[in-house]
Every structure is written in structure tokens, then in C-alpha cells.
Chains A and B, each alone.
Chain A
Amino acid sequence: MSQIFNRSANQIARFSLVGGALAVGLVAWLGLLLMRSDFVTGANANVTQPVQFSHAHHVGGLGIDCRYCHTTVDSARFANIPPTKTCMNCHSQIWLTSSYLEPVRESFRTGQSLVWNRVHDLPDFVYFNHSVHVKKGVGCETCHGRIDQMAGIYQASSLQMEWCITCHRAPEQFLRPREAVYQMGYHPAGDQLTIGRDLVKKYDVKSLTSCSTCHR
């Protein structure tokens, strides 16, 4: 053959052209999924803590109410992480010798705070207020998942804006009666939507989607 290309060139050329176009589309779609994937959001990733505190044991097992430790969840923006004192209320009586708890006892002895790793970490420019959500009937479980089944703690939701917005736009899909807010494994007595709509009226829930609702 004395011409520049041989027969196969045609197939190669056409395939590379079409294939290239398809590849670009595929990568774009993967990118969209990647942005929402757990390793970007950090969801469902176990967070190691100085003390391997088990919510499964304390909440699921012993049935301690959320508010026993997270005291300000219904009164302030911040749900509060309990001071060492709170742990010692019980653990000055029980599991006195457990090596697990040595960091706690040490903290109490030395007055040096325990240093926990943050699990639910919103960006600085997002201003979230626990108390209002609790007041309006958003269950702990709705965002934090089945804490009562978490031996090790992890973030149950993506915490991305689109995730927040889903509820802010349609609260009726998620609301529960105030008395059930701290309940784990809650099941609506009946159709969630009808119950939700009633609660929206009852609690005067505004679906706020203004930017300054969360960003200042």
C-alpha cells in the first residue's frame, strides 16, 4: 500500500471519535455521582474517638435519653458534648477499673478535657440550630440515623445542601410529633404525609429556603 493509511485506519478513526464522545459523557456523570459519594461527604465512615463510647450500649442498651448528655439540644444552637463530669456521674460507681474508661478518669483527675473528634461537621458558613428543629418535630433519628444501633459513631447523612433542602422544601415528609423526637426507630402511626401535614399546621412550620436562613 503506498497510500498514507491502511484499511484499518477508518475503523480506528471512527471508533476513537465516537468512543471519545461517549467517554466524556460517562466521566461527567461519574463526577456528579462522585460529588455525592460517601468518601466525599464522609458519611457512614466510622470516626475513631479517644474513648470508644458506644451509643448502641448507652442508648440502645440502657435506654438513656439523648438529653441526658446532649443537654442543650432543645434550648440552643449547639447540642452540647457532655463534660467529663457527666460520664463520672455513673462511672464513679460502675466499671471503675475498666481500662476503656481510663482516659475519662484521667480527664477527671487532671482537669484536662477529653478531645473528641467531630463527627457532624458543617462548614463555617452554615448556621444550624438544633433547638428550633427539635421544637418543630424533627427527630434526632431523621438526621443522625439509628444512633441506638451505632457501636461506633458515624455520620449518617451526606449533610450536603441538597440534602438539607429536601426537608426544608417538604417538611411533612419527615416531621414527627414532639414527644417522639428523641425516639429511635419511630414509625408513624398511619400515613406519614397526612400526619406530617397536620404537624406542619400544628407546629406552624415554615419551610424556609431563603439563603440567610442558614448563611450569614
Chain B
Amino acid sequence: MRDIDLSAIRARLAKQDGTGQTGPAFWRSLDEVAETPEFAAMLHREFPEGASEFTDPAGRRDFLRLMGASIALAGAAACTRQPTEHIVPYVKAPEDLVPGKPLFFATAMPFAGTAVPVLVESHMGRPTKIEPNPEHPFTHGGTDLFAQASVLELYDPDRSQTVMGKGEIRPWSELSLALTSAGAGQKGAGGGGLRILSGAVTSPTLAAQIQGLLTAMPQAKWIQYEAIGNDNARAGSKLAFGDYLEPVYRLDQADVILSLDADLLDAGAGKLRYARDFATRRQVVPGQTAMNRLYVAESSPSNTGSKSDHRLSLKAREIPALAGAIAAGLGVAGAAGQAPASATAFATEVVKDLQAHRGRALVVAGERQPAAVHALAHAMNAALGSVGTTVVYTQTPQANPGEGFAGLRDLVNEMNAGTVAVLVILGANPVFTAPSDLKFASAMGKVPLSVHLGLHRDETAAHSQWHVPETHYLETWSDARTGDGTVTVCQPLIEPMYECRSAHELVAALSGEIKTPLEIVQGFWKANWDGRSASAGAGGAFGKLTDTTGVDFATFEKFWRRVLHDGFVPGTAFAPKPVALAAGAVAAAPAAAAVSPASSGVVPNSSDTSVGGLEVTFHADPSVYDGRFANNGWLQELPKPFDKVCWDNVAYISPRTAEQLGVGERKPVVYGVEVYLANLTVNGHTLQVPLWIMPGQPDGSIALHLGYGRTHAGRIGNGLGYNANFFRYSSTPWVLQGASLTLLDQIYNVACTQGHFQMENRALIRVGTRTQFEHDPTFAQHMAHVPKPDESMYAPWKYEGHAWGMAIDLNSCNGCNACVVACVAENNIPVVGKLQVMKGREMHWLRIDRYWEGSPDAPSVHFQPVACQQCENAPCEVVCPVGATVHSDEGLNDMVYNRCVGTRYCSHNCPYKVRRFNFLLYADWDTPTLKMQRNPDVTVRSRGVMEKCTYCVQRINTARQQAKIEDRKIKDGEIVTACEAACPTQAIVFGDLNDKNSRVAKAHADPRSYGLLAELNTRPRTTYLAAVRNPNTALTPEPAGPATGGHH
């Protein structure tokens, strides 16, 4: 409600009367009559819908975006009318579409050699939110941050939109002609000059298509390359079993787990399932002792390491020796090795513990480790009798498994040799992701016809003659396999927004067919659904498929509908393969282990931490992976789990290495965090990197994250961070030796959302050991004095009906960030950009606090998701002068955006600092595609308004309304908040505290349950379940005192 000059209005009306003309019969608002500039400004700035409604074809049919003007009129609504809006109904309404009710469709996000099964929420034809698919036999629900963010990728305004030929816009027909003729031309030569380069493909259909092509042209080759692939694991399995196999772990069966540099819980094809299974084995209840134990030896902090009971930070090159030593200890024939000095105790205890749990022990090796270590791991599992119990081996989800770096190297050689006539790149971006020694870009110049298919006009597109916009997975038909091989048929949620094509169409065009993706995918399954097919391609022949209950599908129609509805093809999971260790596999291992994977440079002994002779390890970036998500604002602004840095990548060094370099403690300043720049030199190549002191990073080792330094990512991703591929070698893509750091006298400002990482002796995250827990299950509740309700002067409010509450199990959370992105997607949370984050104005309603415990050299790390705690005695409400935040009858801490005037007092009085403020106009009112992504059930906040978590009140209301329509009560688990749904470990539980049988009520009754800062008598509705670690007493003698609250 803005000031209105009544006198001016009367004047104008009077004038109209005076001139005798009646003037406009009705006018919309006092402002209009007063002709205030604000009104004009608002028409343009605050009501883009009003103007752009019909210029935006995608929005034409969209009721929901027509359902009102802008929150900028928050107050005005009471006394100012909005401009007339329009309702544009269908001409012929589609069946089973109810305006105002979302529909959910099952599909899967294909991702780097695996797939994430998801349900997609669709509002009036707009996919707006990714939800997990709880029915899926492998993941049983849970998503990762990439799946959650993929919906923004769909609406990315920087997506490639037209076919480009030699830098000009060309029609698709022209390209398909070129492809067909090229394909035909190659047929003659048996396809000798045809090369297809793609990422790891799990799609049976695509695989079959390409196979078809290859059988037609035997000389043609298909290379699958992932910058962050699993070559070493492949090679390891070949070494051990003589064949490329995929180990599938059964963490629910494992009592003792040893991870050798493997980020089991947050990386790789199985992470969702593994995280879930692992968490189930950490659920401690008094008296129950089936708690697993996790040993981790790793070359840089990982989410898996954060959950470990014993974490050993070793240089990557020291781990093979450790593996050898342990293997030897376990009596693996031919295994040998001397564990590094710092790891001997660890090694001996691990050996004991593993042996004590034969058959229920598990050893896992990580991709950063050479094939030999993987082979050793397989051998150890065999020796422990774990094969078949805690690990089984299946064929790889990826079709035609190979070793990507080798394949890529051969390809480049051929290209340079000029033997490649046609290069078709399907969705990959090798010019950016290929190791620098391959010089892929220059090699591409030697290829007569290069075609690139990609979501963006990226670095590779810039170097190829043809570029085709790729359909997003939400726009097209396809299929994909999850880690266990289960196939999901991916269905489109929306027509392709631009002139896009899918890999299926491109390959079809190569073989001279013009088909739609639906024809192709459906065709494949028509041929394979009942096992009658002779042409079972490399996608793997499927036997006769039955539904989950084992009943045959009568017709293909039934099969197809069922499969699309469920989101997976039942019975397509791979059967475990019987394996036998190849002779000599392990004999080769210690040798391989002894030889460190150094490519060059004299490697000093492992105690050497001089500023020269450093080790460099490469890691996937936690947010943008290998760079494919670089233009995704949600992921760029997502604080990474350990450094809490966003919009950048930094180089980790250990505190001790930092001391030797003379790097001071990084200090929080007004604009972000100041860090030092240093010149990193490896093999004569030098690059400037910002140094980040990372507790738990091995001394003398530098961790670099891939995926930054993009030049053709888009408006968001360009020019951020440094490009670590610069150092990468196709021979040793993961670890380099002999690097040197020279500190520069330059400061670089990093956007970091948590500049401070000590808990300052405050009992915020409460951790105990298993013994402490068994001795006193309520240990966490004794760490702070919490006043009783009746200690208050006032009688507490009664909450009849529902009383919503939440519980977060710190024992399960591994800081994977999926919940944060889910919250952003669900609640229309804006992206504010690096500068605003540096100023301390990030908008995330849900953040994950990270604290270190113990010595900076060997710390343990703790994660704590913090959103609004919905305090019953909410301090924020009392100080709001306009009552914009008050309690609901069900105990929610309501935030009324349209009433808020923005004094920010509530934020000051919130001890949890979970409230976020729109200091500027952060919401994007202009970009049409971004508006399509918005959740219509959540108000888009405007400038000057406070906002915060509301327990997804829109979901609560929707459920309540549905329950009322159906004359029933709301069931427990019917309301699932966005964060709860996304969580792969089920760490978050939401429900009704008044319902004593609800999961959340039980969780609140759990002895581990405690309220964060409850000593302030805020009486939070969210409680945390204290973490319980299960350390091996032989390695760490029990602390005499009480359990730690993150003290020290």
C-alpha cells in the first residue's frame, strides 16, 4: 500500500467533470488516476506478466501465471486494484489435467554412467520440481543435488536454441542431410572414418542403435569418455577377474567397512542406495548393538570420510602401500606392502577388525587409486568371504564398458593422423574436459566433418562445424540404467522448448533414418519387452519381463503403461555374476601398488612436505561436477560441503603445508573471505590458484576441483574459478607428483557462507561414542540446561489439532546438499550472485552448518542442516512491529511476506539466523523461462521482504485441503517437506507431534533428541538427534569426560 496523493486524484476527477467528459468508466487504482510515476514504473518493473503475457508462447496456456500480479502490491491489494488480468482457457482441454493441481510423472535423469530415478512435478505442463521415486527397487527414494538442480538446467535461458553450422544458424534438415550422406559415404569404407564420442551411455536403446551402426560399419568406432569416470575400477576388475565388472555393495550387510580413498556415500553410481543403507546401520537405539564401523583412508576430505569412525588422511600415493599392507595382513596371497609410518597402527587394527567380521566386512577402493589397488580390494573381499554377502559383481550399467582416457587418447591420435573423417560428439564436452596433454581442440581442427550435440554452445561446440541443441532429459524419450542395472524409460514432461534433437535422433540420422525419439525408444522396447527379440543389442538381452509381482504383461500397451507409471522396468536389474580371482591378479598388485602412479618428477619420501615435491589430486567439484552444471545458478550458489565456498573453486592445502608456505589464517572480511593466491607449477606448467587451508587435507598434498574455468558455459558459468584440467594428463588423470607452490603476495576474495568453522565450545552439534550412548542414551540432553515449560511466567499455548514438528538425525546426515537444492527449487529461492553472497546476503532457507572437531591435522567434521526451528516461543515474532510473523494454530512460525515491511528486527532476534532478507530485488521478474520454473504454490518475494523456511507450508495446506475434500484426517507421512523428500539417508523426518505414533513424535521421544540452543527457552519444534560414533577403542581410548558437543 503506497502513499497516494488524494488531492491530486480529486483534482484530476474534478478536471474530468469540468471538461464535461465522463472520463474512464472504471479505473484500476488510485495510482492510475493520480498518474504517479511509481505506478508507471510498477507496470513495467513489477508486473512483467502484465506486459509479456502473450509474447511468451510457453506461458499462453498457463493459468497459474495468470493468477495474480505481484507481491510488490502486497499491501496495496487491500486498497489498490491490480491491472486487469486475462484467463486463456484451452480450446480442447486435455484429459486428466485439473487446472491448479500438479501431476507427477516418473522418469530418470541419465548422469555420467548411471541414472537417478525421479518423479517430476508438473504444473500445467511445466515441470517445476524433481522428487524421488520411492518405488524404485534400487534407490528406494532419495535424490542427489544434481537431479534437484536439473529442472533449472531445463529452463536455463543460456541453453543452445538453434542448429549452428560453421557459426551460422542452419535448418535441422540441412544437418540431417549432411549426417545421412556422411553416414552413407562412410558405409563404403566400412565406417573407417566415423567416430562417435559420447559420455558413458547406459541407455539400452541408444546402445542398440549405435551397435546397429557399428555392425553396419565395422570399422567405425564408439568412444565413451567421462572426465570423472571409473577407468581404474574397470581396469581393476579386469585385473582381478579378467573382465569389466561392476561391484555392487550391500552396505546393510556390512559390519566393518574400509574405504581406500573412496567417496562411497556421495559419489558413483550407487551413492543414493549406499548412503541409505549405511544410514540404516547407524540407527542406534538403547540396547541394540548392530552398529557398523567405517574406516576411511583418503587423500582429501570427503562426505564419506565425514561419517567415518576412523579417518586417516594419506597422500593418494601412500594409499596403495597401505592397501598392500592390509591385504598382506589379511593373508591375501602375494600381497605385500609397508604401511606408511603414520598408518601402521591403523593398518593393524583394521586388519583385526576386518578379520573379526569375516563375511560381513567390506573393502572399497576409490577411483583415484590405481587399478592394482582395486584388484587388491577385490582380493581382500574375496579373502574375507564377503563376495556374495557385502559385495556382488555384475555387468556394468554402462554399455560397452571401456577405459575412457585410453579411448580418448587413441581417438585424438587418429584425429591428428587425419584418419577421422566424421566425428559425432553426443552430449560430451571434450574440448573442456579432456586432459590438457591431448590438445583435443587442435585435433578437432583436423576433422573434416565434426558434429556436436549439446545443451549449451560450449567449448566443444565452438570448435565443431556443426552444433545441435540437445534435448534436455525432461524434453525427450529415452531410457537409462541405475547402478544395479535397473532400466527406467525416460518420458518427456514438456515439448522441446527450442529446436532440439536427442542423441537417438542424431544416431538415427547417421544411419539414414528420420525417426522421432518416441518411435525409436518404443520401437526398441516393442522388440525387447517379451524376450522374443533376436536383435537384443548391447543394451543387454532382456529375458521375458514380468511385473513386480511376477505376473506377465498381457500386451505391450500394458507393459508400456506400467513401465512409464512405475518409472522402472521390473526385473532388469543385473544378476550377480559368479567371479573367480584371475591368477596373478594379486601377484601383480603389490608391484603395481609399490610403483606410485607418479607421471614425472622425483617423488620424495612420504614424510617430505617441502614446498616442492607436492602431490596434486583431482576431484569432481561438489557443485558443478565436471563443469557440466557450470551455468546452473542454484549449484553455483550452493556452498560446497567442506569449504562452504560458492561461485569458485579453491585449492586445498593442509594447515601444516600452509605454515610452511607462510600462509596466514584466512580471515573473514566485509566482502567474503580473503585468501592468498599462489602459483602452482607442475611439469613446467604454472597456474594461479587460491589457497584454502583445509583441515584433514594430507600434508604435502594439494586437492584441485575440476569443472571451473569455463569459457563457453553461459552468462553464469563463464570466467569463474580456475581450470584444473590444465594440469591433467590422460596417463595420470587423478594424481600428479612433483608439484610446487610459490606463494604470491596477492589476496583473492572468495564468496564463503561460513567463514568461521570452530564451535567455540558451544553444544551445537552433539556427538558421543557408542560406549557413551550405551552408558547414558540421553547424554546429548545433559550438555545444556533447558528450562522446563512450566518455568515460564506465562502458561504455554495449547495446540489442539496438529502440531507440526521435525527431527533431523545428525547420525545419518552426510552433508550431501541435496536438501538445500531441493529447498531452493521448491520455494522459489532466488540466486543472488557472488558479490551479494560475499556481502553476506545469501538467501538459502536451509543451510548445512559445518564444524571441525579435534586437531586441525586429523579432525573429524560434523554437518548440521539448519532451517527455521519453528520455535514455540519464537523470539522473532515478539519484535515484529506489524505482526508479519506470528504463530499459526498448528504451531507454525508463519511468515507473511505481504505484511512484512522489512525492519529486519526478527532476524536479529533469531538465535539461529535462519531468516533471509531481500536487500535488493533478487527475484527475476523478467526472464520468461525462469518464471516457468517457479512453484505456483509459493509467493515470489519482492524487494524489502524477510523470508524463511515454513516447513513447506504450501505442502501442508495442499494435504489439509485434500484431506478435507476426502473427509479424512491427514495421515502420517502424507506431508513430506522438500528437504525430507530429497534426503537420500532419511535423516529428516516431518510430521504431527500431537500424533504420538507419528515418526516425528517417536524421533522427538528418542533419547538422542535435543533442541538446538533450547537453553534460550525458544522451545524449537525442530530437534536434532545427536550423532553417535562407533570408534575402535584400540585406536582411540574412550574419552574420560562426557560426550563432546564439538568441544576442543
Where the two chains meet, the residues of A that have a C-beta atom closer than 8 Å to any C-beta of B are 27, 31, 34-35, 39-42, 45, 47, 72, 74-78, 80-85, 107-108, 111-118, 121-127, 129, 131-132, 135-136, 160-161, 206, 208, 210-213, 215-216
B1016 contacts chain A at the CB level, 8 A cutoff: no
Tell me, yes or no, whether B950 is within 8 Å of chain A by CB: yes
* Chain B residues whose CB sits within 8 angstroms of the CB of A27 once the complex forms: 6
Give B residues with C-beta under 8 Å from A.
6, 25-30, 60-61, 63, 66-71, 73-74, 77-82, 84-93, 98-101, 801, 886-890, 892, 894, 896-899, 937-940, 950, 953-954, 956-957, 961, 964-965
B81 surroundings in chain A (CB, below 8 A): 40-42, 121
Please tell me if the beta carbons of B93 and A83 are within 8 angstroms of each other in the complex. Answer: yes
A64 to chain B, nearest CB (A): 17
8 Å CB contact of B77 from A72, A123, A135, A211 = A123
Q: Are B954 and A113 closer than 8 Å at their CB atoms?
A: no
Residue pair B100, A118 in contact (C-beta under 8 Å):
no
Contact B92 A83 (CB under 8 A): yes
Shortest CB-to-CB span from B79 to chain A, Å, is 4
In the complex with contacts A113-B90, A127-B937, A212-B894, A78-B99 CB distance below 8 A: yes
User: Once bound together, how far apart are the Cα atoms of A208 and B965, in whole Å?
Assistant: 16
Residue among B29, B101, B887 facing the most chain A CB atoms (10 A cut-off): B101
Q: Which residues of A contact B938 (CB under 8 A)?
A: 216
Contact partner of A84 (CB less than 8 A), chosen from B25, B84, B91, is B91
Q: Chain B residues near A42 (CB, 8 Å)?
A: 26, 28, 81
- Check A124 against B68 for contact (C-beta < 8 Å): yes
Contact A210:B888 (CB < 8 A) given known A121-B85, A132-B965, A135-B964:
yes
B71 touches A135 (CB 8 A): no
Checking A75, A123, A206, A216 against B98 with a beta-carbon cut-off of 8 angstroms, the contacting residue is A75
Contact of A211 with B896 at beta-carbon distance under 8 Å, contacts A117-B86, A121-B85, A125-B939 already known: yes
30 contacts across the A-B interface (CB closer than 8 A): A31-B6, A35-B78, A40-B30, A40-B79, A42-B28, A42-B81, A45-B25, A72-B101, A76-B100, A76-B101, A77-B101, A78-B99, A80-B89, A84-B91, A85-B90, A111-B91, A115-B88, A116-B88, A116-B89, A123-B82, A132-B961, A136-B964, A208-B889, A210-B887, A210-B892, A211-B888, A211-B899, A212-B950, A212-B956, A215-B898
10 A-B pairs with least C-beta separation: A124-B68, A78-B100, A123-B77, A210-B888, A77-B100, A83-B90, A35-B79, A118-B85, A125-B898, A81-B89
Q: Are A83 and B91 in contact (CB under 8 A)?
A: yes
Q: CB distance B82 to A116 under 8 Å?
A: no
A216 near B957 with CB under 8 A, answer yes
Contacts of A81 in B (CB 8 A): 87, 89
CB distance A211 to B894 under 8 Å? yes
**Chain B nearest CB: distance from A201 CB in Å?**
14
Is A124's CB under 8 angstroms from B89's CB? Answer: no
Q: A37 CA to B87 CA in the complex, in Å?
A: 26
A215–B68 touching, CB < 8 Å? no
Known contacts: A77-B100, A117-B86. The answer to whether A84 contacts B92 by CB under 8 A is yes
Q: How far is the CA of A179 from the CA of B961 in the complex (A)?
A: 20
- Shortest CB-to-CB span from A120 to chain B, Å, is 10
In the complex, the answer to whether B84 meets A117 with C-beta atoms within 8 Å is yes
**Given contacts A111-B91, A112-B91, are A80 and B99 in contact (CB under 8 A)?**
yes
Contact (Cβ within 8 A) A210 B950: no
State the Cβ distance, B557 to closest chain A Cβ, in Å.
27
A39-B26, A41-B81 given; A122·B964 CB < 8 A: no
Most central of B73, B940, B964 by chain A CB within 10 Å: B964
Residues of A within 8 A of B899 (CB): 211, 215
Decide yes or no: A215 and B896 within 8 Å by CB, A39-B27, A123-B77 being known contacts. Answer: yes
Apart from A83-B89, A117-B86, A216-B937, list 5 A-B contacts with CB within 8 A: A77-B100, A81-B89, A113-B61, A127-B957, A206-B801
Give the distance in Å from the alpha carbon of A74 to the alpha carbon of B60 in the complex: 25
Most A CB within 10 A of own CB, among B886, B890, B894: B894
A118–B86 CB distance below 8 A: yes
Cα A131 to Cα B26 in complex, Å, equals: 31
Which residues of chain A are near B892, meaning CB under 8 Å? Answer: 210, 212
Contacts known (A40-B79, A132-B961, A136-B964); A116 close to B87, Cβ less than 8 A: yes
What B residues does A107 contact at CB under 8 A? 91
- Contact status of A123 and B68, CB under 8 A, knowing A72-B99, A135-B964, A212-B953: yes
A216 near B71 with CB under 8 A, answer no
By beta carbon, the residue of chain A nearest B75 is: A123
A108 to B91, CA, bound (A): 6
- C-alpha spacing A75/B69, complex, angstroms: 25
A131–B99 alpha-carbon span in the complex (Å): 12
CB pair A124–B91 under 8 Å, yes or no, is: no
Task: Tell me, in angstroms, the Cα distance from A210 to B29 when the chains sit together.
Answer: 28
CB distance B74 to A125 under 8 Å?
yes
Q: How far is the CB of B48 from chain A (nearest CB, A)?
A: 13
Cross-chain contact of B70 among A34, A39, A116, A124 (Cβ < 8 A): A124
| Alpha-carbon distance between A70 and B904 when the two chains are bound, in angstroms | 43
Separation of A34 and B93 alpha carbons in the complex (Å): 42
Q: In whole angstroms, what is the CA distance A171 to B78 when docked?
A: 22
CA distance A42 to B940 in the complex (A): 25
Residues of A close to B887: CB separation below 8 A = 210
| Nearest CB on A from B745, distance (A) | 51
Give the chain A neighbours of B940 by CB distance below 8 A.
124
Shortest A168–chain B CB gap in Å is: 12
Q: Report how far A47 CA is from B63 CA in the complex, Å.
A: 19
Cβ of A125 and Cβ of B957 under 8 Å apart? no
Q: Are B89 and A114 in contact (CB under 8 A)?
A: yes
